[in-house]
Structure formats: structure tokens, C-alpha cells
Structure 1
Amino acid sequence: MRYLEITVSSEHRRTVIDALDDEGIEYVVTDEASASGTEDAAVVRFPLPTRAVEPVLDRLADAGLENARVVVIDAETVVSQEFDELRDQYSHGGTRGERTSRQVLRTKADAFTPVFSVYLVMLLISAVVATAGLLSDSPAVVVGSMVIAPLLGPALAASVGIVTGDDDLQSRGFRYQTIGVAVVIVASIAIAMLARLGGLEPGGVDIVVVAELEERVSPNLLSLAVALGAGVAGILSLTRGFSEAIVGVMIAAALIPPAAAVGITTAWGMYGAALGALLLVVVNVLSINLAALVTLWVAGYRPQGLFEVSPTRTQTITYAAVFGIALVVLAAPLVGVTLLEFQTTQLTSTTEQAVESVLEDPEYDDVEAESVEVVLDDEYPIRSVDRVIVTVRSPDPGPEPELGDRIYDRVATDTQEPTVVEIRYTVGEKRGEADADYLLVRTAGADR
């Protein structure tokens, strides 16, 4: 429920009263002197169901009162039979869900956008924490960086500005998003360079073997789910009053760690991996904005006339089309990564079956399969299969000359494509016993 206070000049007093009478709204009118003292003013106060705020204000605006001063505040309780009837009238068939008006929506989106200096400081802190968390492979620290990132307002302000026709809010939202991502990337590069100069290389030379980094430098289509969900949840938090803090963390999860990953991989000179992380950042930004726009449209924040062609409608459709097309184009590499993951899973399963089939031969009764690993190359962000490593345990310290070739032949037959199969031998009688101090390696199929 809302409580409205509208201040208009005395000459517009009758217009407001007639509109409220037509809607069956209870009101109180008082005459007051204007701030300038040159003319009298009328103040009209009345309660409204949340769903009624937007249509009532739109009607008053259509009557020529778009410049009136309007104050909207929350109302805890309204005890009135007329108000109950009005609430039923706007309940749309008995559903009394809260729906924030466009006017209040703009105010909330603006309120969640912090002062620019505070925004930069908080993002710098978040970038430092995210970089430290990724380098130390600590999920808890990475989550901490998301909590302190003030991204809810900027991530949603642009979409709210588009659908409500607020050009200032729209431009501020886009500006904050662009500068915010750039600040996190630059700060992460600086922190990662310091870490590298200090000898902090958690994964050795190949920094992306760190689990928290690896999933962000070679993203798949599932990465879109976080950003799309964040955009939808963000709008619902503004329009339906859900927890903004939790949704803000979700939006930060889609932007802060990938942006920090761009900085870290750039500092390590792994530009292909940096490109993959940057691709994820851009795709997530587009996804959040597109999901927010579509959610606002579905929720009814759009011109209502069937044949109305307003700047707001045209602008909303234009931006949605631009976001959608750009997202489809940029998501193409993510499709390739997703297909590679399916291929890797299938190749792992095929190799395991091939190894089991070969080892069923009585000749290899004393040989036991330990593991199968599919190794990808380092051509980020779109990688390919480099080789398959099969580890077997044998009591004989010498390799089985034909075992590697037989496994390779079986894998090549099943996959219908050349694959390098590397056989590694560990010495031991059976699983669970201590391994020998050396590892024997045989590669089959490398020359084929």
C-alpha cells in the first residue's frame, strides 16, 4: 500500500479531485501557501493500493499535471471499506501481488546506484579481494568479493531508464557498468602483476590450472544461466520487493570474478585465456541487460496502447534487439566450448570402455586400469583434445609393448578420429599398495 501527497496550484485542484472521484478514491484536500508565496497551492492526500499508483499517476499526467509535485511513501495499514473495494478493483481477478509503479521504480533504481566516488572505491576493494581469491583458489574469498560489489543499481538502472524514458538514468546505468568492469580489470592486472613479481604462482607457469580461474577463461553456455537469472531476479527485487542484497551478490557473481580473471591472465601473458574471460564478461553484461529488459516488458512496464508507437516502446524494442543479436553472435564460441565438453565426456567414457575391453584378455590379468584423463591443449578460449592419458597398474616394472597400441586401436575405432593415447604405468601388485619411485610412460598412436 502507498500513501500519496500531490501538491498542485489551486487552478488544477478541481482536475485532481475529479480524477480521484471517478476512481472512487478517498482523499483529503488542504489549501496551503506556495513556497514562493505568489500563489496558493492545494495539497491532496490519499491512500492507494500499490497496483493503482501507476495508472492513477498516468491519468493525472494525461490531465496535464505531469509537473505536479508527488510524494509516494509506504503505508502500513489502511482501515477503510472504500479502500478495500479499491484494492479489489486493482487486484486483477483476486491476485493482490505487489507491483511497483514506474515512478517508484525509477526512484528505487536511482537509490541503488551509489555516488560515483563510493562506487569506484567499493569496486577497487572488490577487485582486490576477487583477485586474491582467484589466485589462492579460495571460493569463500571470491564470494566475499561479490558481497561488497555495489552492482545492483548500475546493472538495472539502464534497463529501467530505457523502459521508463529516463534518459539520465539510462546513460548513468550504461556508464557505471562500463567504467565498473574496466576498473575491476585494470585493478586486477595491477594486483596480479604484483603477485607474479612476488613469485606467487599457484598453478606453476600455467596459471589457469587453478580451478576458480579455469571455469572462467573457457566458459560454456551454462555460464549464461547465472547472468540471465541475475537480470530477471534483479528486476523482480525492484518490482516485487524481494531481497536486493542477495540479488546484488548474484549480479556480482556474473561480473566480478570473470573481470578479475581477465586481469590475472593478462598479467601472466595468457592472452587467449584473457580473451575467453573477457568474452564471458561481455556476454554476462549483455545477458543481464537483456533479461532485465524482457522481464520489465513482461511485467507490464511499457506503453499500454495497442497502436501506440511512443519513443519508449521504440527504444525498448531497439535495445532489446541490439542486446539479443550481440548476445547470439558472442555466444557462438560458448557453444563450441560446450560441444567440446560433451566430446571430452564421451571420449573419456569410450576410452574407459576400450581399456576395460582390452584388459579382459587373460594376457593382462595382472594389469589393472587406474584412471583415464582427457587432456586439452592451451589454445584458449576454444580448445581441442590434445591427448588421452591412460594410467594402469602392473607388477612388472617394464611396459607391455602391445598394450598401448591395442588400446589406441580400440579407441580410434570407437571415436572414428585420430587420438593420441598415452599409457602410463605405475608399479604395484594391486590397488592400494605403495607405488614405486618411478613412472614408466608409453605413448601409442603418436605416429599414426
Structure 2
Amino acid sequence: MFADLLRHRDFRWLTAGRSVSLIGNAMAPFAVAFAVLDLTGSPADIGVVVAARSVANVAVLLAGGVLADRLPRALVLQGSSLGAGIFQALMAFAVLTGWASVPLLIALSVANGALAAVFRPASSALTPQTVPADSLRAANTVTRMTQNFAMILGGSVGAGLVAVIGPGWCIAVDALSFVVAALCFTRLRVPDPVREPSHALADLREGWTEFTGRTWVWVIVVQFLFINAINAGGLMVLGPAIADATFGRTGWGLALAAETVGAVAGGLLAARWMPRRALAYGVTLVFAEAVPLVVLAVAPGTVAMVLALTLTGFTMEQAGIAWDVSLQERVPADRLARVYAYDAVGSFVAIPLGTAVAAPAAALFGTRPTLLVGATITVLATAGALTSRSVRTVTTGGPNPRESRSGTHRMQVSGRSEIQGSFLPETAFRCVCKRDSRGLVVGVSRGGWG
């Protein structure tokens, strides 16, 4: 699987750039948190700086999706990565020279959150343009696995650098990682769908039409609006507190590490096998998200939490791959970034609410009832998603072309000529360009824009 994918030049450089960027992203929270503590000593100030980045990220996601569908996606990745490197370098300079302040760190965090929102849809939508259609599932598996490893490595490196050389220099290394990522993205040579000039608001409406026109898309986004909020409150807020009072911080760390091990195993399985109705299978696996909440509520302990989070990692990785492949196979390439943007906004918008209400709810009603209610909501949201016939009948793999919600699409072949045609529902074209990794130009074959 890995060797076959690495034969595709564009996928190699995209994976390298994303991995370096994610390592930097994982380093940043440690460095920024300790930079704020060194500056003011206030945990509340850390929360404000982190929240500023999150709010900016959600606020700009839709605009990021429009940009990723209007401009060459490789260029969007280059620009957003270089911009992030510049702003992180400014933050490092401010911390190292002693003129940093909380308002300045907030402003720079807002800028970086906005650039991350531009980066995300373009990065997600670019994957199917770097590999043939029959390698899409394997490509998404490798992408998610490398992202997991990059986040683990980045967190470890960030913690070590903060301890050894201080937060300012750690942020400087983070800035350098973004520059390296931008250089990787300059090596991409992917053809982009050619789009007619249009207004940004019209693009947002078109993306909304693509998003709402597929019932299975918005149903699952609504499902994860609830699940992400519940998990954010239950596992990110209440989980550490329960662990601290019962089985200890070391046990909690082992449990979180076990989730990553489970995710690797789930990704390896998904790369080799996935049912034809992968989306329904993936949604069914999401029932497992309730298990860690129940364990924390009823019998918190190291062994139980290790088993529960291993199961969660194993199942959620398969669900995530099924989701990505379903979107990439069935949404037209020139609108995919906007659909990813609406997905991200809907899925993440309630996370701050979940983190904000978890502790007050536990104080008011008790920790155990709060967690059990969260597990119940997770089960109900997942069962509700499975009642949708649209969710149950989506298929992946094989001759499963992209759906189109409107008439004419234009695509660029080898950077010069264009092919124009009307797409019927469930129909798309794939242009095989002259590349060492793709073979000679042989015309136009049916499939996905790969």
C-alpha cells in the first residue's frame, strides 16, 4: 500500500508538506501556553489566546472553502503555510525579545487560526487529485495515519523543546516548519478543475447547495455536531479530572496513547477491507464513542479506559476513512473544498459549548449522570443518522462516480486543452494526464477526477 502510493509524485509531496505542517501545529499549543504563563502566570489568559484561534478558525472556514475551489489548491497551501510561518516567526520574535503581550498573542493567534481555516479545505480536497481513483481509500488511510503520527511526534517534540530551549525558540522552530511545508507544496503539479468566474457569495450558495443537496452529508454533520460537543466536554474536560482523582495521570496518558494504537489498527484494516456500503458501516461504528463515557462514569480505571479508547480509535479511524472516501468519490472536484468547509463548521461549531458546559453540568447534576447523559445523546445521534435511507444506501468503491447538482463542468487536461460537457447525475470524467506516475495521455476515461 505505502510503496504503491509513494510512486505518485504529487501524493508524496502533499503528504510530506501536510506532515511537516501538522508537526508544527502540534508543537504550537505547548509553546504558546507556556509563553503566556511566563508572561502573566494566568491560566485564564491561556484560554483566551487559544479560544481566539479557535473562533477565527471557525469564522473563516467557509471563506477558506471558497478560496480552495476558486484558486489552484497547491497555491492556497503554499500561501497559507508561508503566512503561518511569518506570523509564528513574529510571535517567536516578540516572546524572545520581551515585547510580547496578551493582546499581541491574541492577534497573532487569530491570524494563524484564519490561515489554518484556509489551509484545511484545500488540503482535504487535494487528496483525490494526487492519486488514481482506485487508490483513493488507501490514500486516505495513509493520510490519516501520517497525520496521527505527526501530531504525536509534534506534541512530544514541542514539550521537549519547551523544556530545553524555552517556548520562544520552540515557536521559532514551529515557524520554520511552516516554511518547509510551503516548499514541499511548491513541488505539487496537479491539474485543477477550470471554473467560470463567479461572485464569492454565489460560490458560497453553490457550496451550500452541494452540502444540503445530499441528505447523507448534512445528516452526518448534524450527528457529529452533538458527538464532538459531548466528547469535548466528557473526555477533554471531565476525563482528566476523573483520572486525576481515581486512576492517575499516568493511566490517563496510557489510555490516550492506546487510542492512537487503535486508530493505526483501524486504518490498516480500512486500507485492506471496507464494505461496499462503507458509510453506513462507519456510522454504525460510531456507537463505540459512548463506551469511554460510560467507563468514566461507572468504572474508571487504567485497564478499562485503555480498552475503551483502543476500541474508539479502532472504530473512529474506519468511520473517518469511510467519510472521506464517500465525499471525495461523490462530490464534484471543483466544489469539494466548500463541502469540506461546511462539514468542518457544522462539526466543530458546538465544541466550545461542550467544553464550557461540561464542568457546570457536572457540578449541578453530578459527574456520573452528566457522562451517562452524554453517552445517551451519542447513541441517539448515531441511531438517528442510521434512520436516514440516504446514509444507509451510499456506496463506495468500484464504478461509483461523483454526483453533480448542476449542468456544465469544465476541466483542464495537461494544462492546455479543455473538455466541456454536461454531467448527468452519478456521472463524471477522469482525465489521465501525461505523468510518470499516471502513464501516457490516452484520452478521457470515466471515473473520478483523480
Tell me which interval the TM-score lies in, with the shorter structure as reference length.
under 0.3
| Greater share of strand | 1
TM-score normalised per structure 1: 0.26
Give the TM-score, by structure 2 length: 0.26
Q: Whose Rg is larger?
A: 1
